[in-house]
């Protein structure tokens, strides 16, 4: 993983914006193993390309930007390739740096760069964002993976144009996410031109008439999801594994599968906020006596903390030879307030109340400072697994049940198709900016191409079965959890991170604010 920043000034004597230094500072925080930059001035235009590196693959650290042997190509590659359509694809060799392999291909076909980029990136699965500068032809190529799992922002200011993984503090330019439905090319300062991808959208299968046999489908889901987890936890370079852990269904299944493929300890990172509004409301209706280890006597005994402890205990029982560490991250209200400016800068250009409450939880989870068995502890995990994607693919949101009630499984299928199509435009870029700020990389096993393809091939009744009861959402995943022995997590209802951690509506002033309301000016 790396941080990327490109500045292009259309007049050589134009000075960088005062906040450009803060962008570079944030880029360096994303990858602390190495940091380099290259710059060039030609035909009256000056540019700088900066990259930091968090090294997670390859026998040796490969500094970035990567420069071709003839000095004309400069690549900043923020990606991880986990699978390919070609079994012998060198990009699957975890002993080699994937960015260096891509540069070799570009050097071999320097007159066909758009074709090389499209053919290479269309054949592989994994998160990426990149910037490639071709000084010989005065071209800049850039893009993100089709799901937008790696952040890349762009902005235009007077006499300048910028690309960056994250914006900097006090930067008033209007940053936007780079669209990830195509790759992009800029030639000699002209407007960006689309380079179409060869990958097609996933189309969900229509509902079926027959009742599904969920038990028969569990082995297939286990196989494809287990392989996705294996690809994301094995053969990592000096990297420990952490998991964003609420104790809920999605993340607990990932924890169990990770234990089957990763021999080292796994840090289960659980976040809890001291929420003055929720604490005051709970005391107002509390009946004595209130146990010291329950909410609100213990301000951190929030819903996600309770479920995390229970699921952790069951994991430890099921995998007695494996080391799980429940990292309990407690966030005092004063500390939350002191970090607000940083969180807002990282999540920008997203700026809603809901975005802020989610970003705050992810920020402190990624920081990873908490307690294990009452002893202060800071995780050294460089890789964080996330359960994001399970709700979109397996009908985990309340609106999915509402769609079913409104129009049956046909309406539910349409709603899920909308969710699948919207994943690239949702909040993966925001999450990457926040989680990567502490020198860590987040990985999403549920969003692996083969997992998405498998679930898209099933009729919706095979994934959700709302006739049963309130636990009919993500029913196939619940069956897998039960099969794995995770009986506690299999019975838990869906709960959003901002409510489970109590990061939402932290004070009386925000008690009635809608999630879609703007929390601050980006």
Query: Is residue 242 classed as helix, strand or coil in its secondary structure?
Result: strand
Residue 119, number of CB atoms within 10 A of its CB = 13
Strand partners, 8: 47, 161
Query: Is residue 315 classed as helix, strand or coil in its secondary structure?
Result: helix
For CA atoms 280, 350, 515, 452, give the dihedral sign: negative
Element (H, E) at 132: strand 128-134
Q: What share of the chain is helix, strand, coil (3-state, %, to 5)?
A: 40, 20, 40
Distance CA 85, CA 89 (A): 8
Binding site per annotation, positions: 98, 244, 386-387
Tokens (6 digits) for 484: 């794995």
Residue 53, number of CB atoms within 10 A of its CB = 25
Binding site per annotation, positions for ATP: 244, 386-387
Query: Is residue 176 classed as helix, strand or coil in its secondary structure?
Result: strand
Tokens (6 digits) for 349: 């250009």
Q: Which one of 2, 55, 180, 479 is the catalytic residue?
A: 2
Distance CA 368, CA 59 (A): 27
308-334 burial string, b = 16+ CB within 10 Å, else e? beebbebbeeebeebebbbbbbbbebe
CB 217 within 8 A of CB 167: no
Tokens (6 digits) for 375: 């002893």
Close Cβ partners of 220 (under 8 Å, ≥ 6 residues apart): 454
Tokens (6 digits) for 520: 């601050």
Binding site per annotation, positions for L-glutamine: 98
For CA atoms 341, 345, 350, 354, give the dihedral sign: negative
In the annotation, is 40 catalytic? no
Distance of CA 213 to the CA centre of its chain: 32
CB 308 within 8 A of CB 249: no
Close Cβ partners of 334 (under 8 Å, ≥ 6 residues apart): none
Close Cβ partners of 209 (under 8 Å, ≥ 6 residues apart): none
Tokens (6 digits) for 119: 């053919």
User: Which DSSP string do the residues of 7-34 spell out, in sequence order?
Assistant: EEESSTTPPPPTTHHHHHHHHHHH-BSE
Whose tokens are 């968090």? That residue is: 54
From residue 79, alpha-carbon distances to 131, 159, 178 in Å are 11, 30, 16
For CA atoms 327, 488, 362, 283, give the dihedral sign: negative
Q: Which residues are catalytic?
A: 2
């Amino acid at each position: 993983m790396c941080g990327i920043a490109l500045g292009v000034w259309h007049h050589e004597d134009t000075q960088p914006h005062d906040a450009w230094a803060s962008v570079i500072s944030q880029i360096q925080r994303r990858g602390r193993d190495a940091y380099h930059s290259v710059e060039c001035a030609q035909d009256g235009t000056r540019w700088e390309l900066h990259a930091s590196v968090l090294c997670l693959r390859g026998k040796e650290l490969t500094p970035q930007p990567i420069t071709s042997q003839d000095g004309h190509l400069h690549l900043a590659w923020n990606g991880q390739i986990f699978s390919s359509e070609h079994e012998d694809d060198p990009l699957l060799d975890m002993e080699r740096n994937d960015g260096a392999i891509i540069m070799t291909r570009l050097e071999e076909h320097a007159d066909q760069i758009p074709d090389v980029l499209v053919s290479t990136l269309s054949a592989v699965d994994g998160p990426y964002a990149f910037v490639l500068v071709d000084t010989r032809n005065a071209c800049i190529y850039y893009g993100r993976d089709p799901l937008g799992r790696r952040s890349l922002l762009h902005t235009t200011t007077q006499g300048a144009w910028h690309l960056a993984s994250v914006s900097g503090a006090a930067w008033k330019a209007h940053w936007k996410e780079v669209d990830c439905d195509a790759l992009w090319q800029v030639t000699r300062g002209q407007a960006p031109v689309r380079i179409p991808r060869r990958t097609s959208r996933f189309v969900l299968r229509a509902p079926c008439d027959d009742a599904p046999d969920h038990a028969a489908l569990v082995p297939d889901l286990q196989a494809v999801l287990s392989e996705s987890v294996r690809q994301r936890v094995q053969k990592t370079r000096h990297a420990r594994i952490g998991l964003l852990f609420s104790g809920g269904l999605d993340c607990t299944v990932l924890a169990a599968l990770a234990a089957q493929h990763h021999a080292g300890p796994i840090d289960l990172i659980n976040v809890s906020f001291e929420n003055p509004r929720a604490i005051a409301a709970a005391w107002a209706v509390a009946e004595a006596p209130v146990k010291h280890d329950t909410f609100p006597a213990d301000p951190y005994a929030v819903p996600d903390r309770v479920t995390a402890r229970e699921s952790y205990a069951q994991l430890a029982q099921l995998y007695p030879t494996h080391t799980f560490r429940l990292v309990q991250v407690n966030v005092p209200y004063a500390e939350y307030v002191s970090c607000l400016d940083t969180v807002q800068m990282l999540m920008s250009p997203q700026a809603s109340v809901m975005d802020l409450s989610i970003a705050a939880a992810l920020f402190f989870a990624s920081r990873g400072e908490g307690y294990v068995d009452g002893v202060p502890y800071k995780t050294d995990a460089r890789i964080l697994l996330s359960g994001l994607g399970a709700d979109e693919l397996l009908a985990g949101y309340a609106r999915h049940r509402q769609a079913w009630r409104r129009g049956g499984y046909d309406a539910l299928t349409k709603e899920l198709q909308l969710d699948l199509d919207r994943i690239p435009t949702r909040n993966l870029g925001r999450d990457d900016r926040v989680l990567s700020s502490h020198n860590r990389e987040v990985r999403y096993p549920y969003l692996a191409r083969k997992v998405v393809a498998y679930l898209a091939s099933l009729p919706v009744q095979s994934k959700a079965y709302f006739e049963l009861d309130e636990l009919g959402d993500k029913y196939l995943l619940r069956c897998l959890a039960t099969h794995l022995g995770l009986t506690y997590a299999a019975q838990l209802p869906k709960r959003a991170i901002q409510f489970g951690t109590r990061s939402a509506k932290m004070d009386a002033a925000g008690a009635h604010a809608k999630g879609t309301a703007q929390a601050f000016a980006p």
